[in-house]
Amino acid sequence: MRSIISIALCLMIGLGVSSAQNVVLNGVVGESVAFPDAVKKSGTLTHKAPFSSSSARTRPVSLGQSVTLLCEGAANGPTEWRFKQQQHDQWQSVVALQDGGVSPGPGFEERVKFVRTENPRNCSITLGPVEFTDGGVYECKALHPDRIFSDVRLEVLDPFQVFVELGQSVSLPCRGNINKQIRSDELHFRWQKDRQDVYKHQNSKTTYGPGFENRVSVSLDRAPHGDLSLTIKEARLSDQGEYQCVYNIQKENGQPPLVHLNVTDLQKLEHKLSGEASCF
């Protein structure tokens, strides 16, 4: 067991898990394991834009990943994406398209590009790798005349990290502020992996995503108490990725808002490490 924990810790450090991230080893919360400072538990980091006056929809994205911001139906003339950062009132230029030229704004050089499509009025952009200070409201607007075509609120998340060994079971945590008096037929929630449904419960009916049938479950007895944790049996390498839990008709985010599952093949890793050690 101690050798497995040591290998997992090495893997955490190799994956860049910092002290600002939550860590669960093999899906067990509360197990007595002495983690070094580099992988100690702490709160999940989120960066939310506080603009209550904006009707922009919220788009979560993981720190370091890429995100596509859609803008379709824009004018044929000069177009700009602009950005208002959290706790700042000033708009900043993300990228401008004018006279056939593309001009990234300060801080977005080499990180933003227009999405190429056959639609000449599509001014969607891809931003990445996303930085923590990228959280805020983004607008796609025409410069002449001044008109907004699209807006979105970007929420940058530092995911809760969970580790599990290949073939073992794991629990992904999720808590929701669910009405204690809710009827069973009013209970609505879903789990998604990489924005695709894994588990969905709605109108007393449960459905599963491809490849997750008979392998995932949520305790419907615990759900009315706010515990929407997802159990995955016989973890596969393909299960690795980012998971998100939402609940209620309004699709409120559960806590933590994002969970990253790391599936490790420890036997393969041990064999690799033993081979490297034999070279000394």
The string of pLDDT tens digits covering residues 140-175 is: 999 877 889 999 999 998 889 999 999 999 999 999
Tell me the whole-structure pTM to 2 decimals: 0.61
Residues 166 and 27 in one domain: yes
d(CA 239, CA 229): 16
- Whether 53 and 110 have beta carbons less than 8 Å apart is answered as no
Residues 103 and 125 in one domain: yes
- List, in order, residues 6 or more apart from 194 with CB less than 8 Å away: 241, 242
Q: Would you place residue 271 in the very low, low, confident or very high pLDDT band (cuts 50, 70, 90)?
A: low
According to the model, what pLDDT value does residue 45 have? 39
Say whether pLDDT at 212 is over 90.
yes
Residues 92 and 133 in one domain: yes
According to the model, what pLDDT value does residue 42 have? 32
Say whether pLDDT at 243 is over 60.
yes
According to the model, what pLDDT value does residue 112 have? 97
Residues 52 and 190 in one domain: no
Task: Quote the domain boundaries for residue 22.
Answer: 2-44+159-267
d(CA 180, CA 185): 14
Residue ending a domain, choose from 157, 179, 202: 157
Residue 276 lies in a domain: no
DSSP label at residue 8: H
Please name which of 256, 248, 249, 233 lies closest in space to residue 174, comparing C-alpha atoms: 256
d(CA 175, CA 229): 7
Question: Could you tell me what percent of the chain has a pLDDT over 70?
Answer: 76
Residues 57 and 93 in one domain: yes
Say whether pLDDT at 215 is over 70.
yes
According to the model, what pLDDT value does residue 86 have? 82
d(CA 252, CA 179): 13
Question: What's the chain's average pLDDT?
Answer: 80
Residue ending a domain, choose from 106, 129, 157: 157
- Total domains, the chain: 2
Residue 244 lies in a domain: yes
- Whether 33 and 25 have beta carbons less than 8 Å apart is answered as yes
According to the model, what pLDDT value does residue 279 have? 47
